Structure 1
């Protein structure tokens, strides 16, 4: 496994890409793929059909991954 400069729970700032300037907490780290999920930095919207689990269907928002080189640890 590769060593990373951030870990789960760290406060980070996105320094490059579409989410540049946003700050948040690291929710998960995938060192093998070089990705981190930052809370509120890259919100992805997915459309879902009606089902037993989700009777109304509609849009579901979730946090998407950001490349680990595009984040800087704060503090």
Structure 2
């Protein structure tokens, strides 16, 4: 355990449970904010990887065929259940 982690734990032990819960909520808020801030970069990176694959475009008919196949598969699995 690092010295700063030890300090955090000692300080948290001094707080009443309600305050510890507030600290936990705040830490969760900060983590969510970091996650949201990183989302655009992850999306950009993902799109760049897709472009780099240079895959051929699919037609509307191919998309429709995939949708219909997925629907048939879902219906078949629902009937089995």
Normalised by the length of structure 1, the TM-score is 0.17
| Greater gyration radius | 2
Larger helix fraction of residues: 2
- Structure showing greater relative contact order (alpha-carbon pairs closer than 8 Å, 6 or more residues apart): 1
Instruction: Name the TM-score, length of structure 2 as normaliser.
Output: 0.16
User: Which structure has more strand as a fraction of its residues?
Assistant: 1
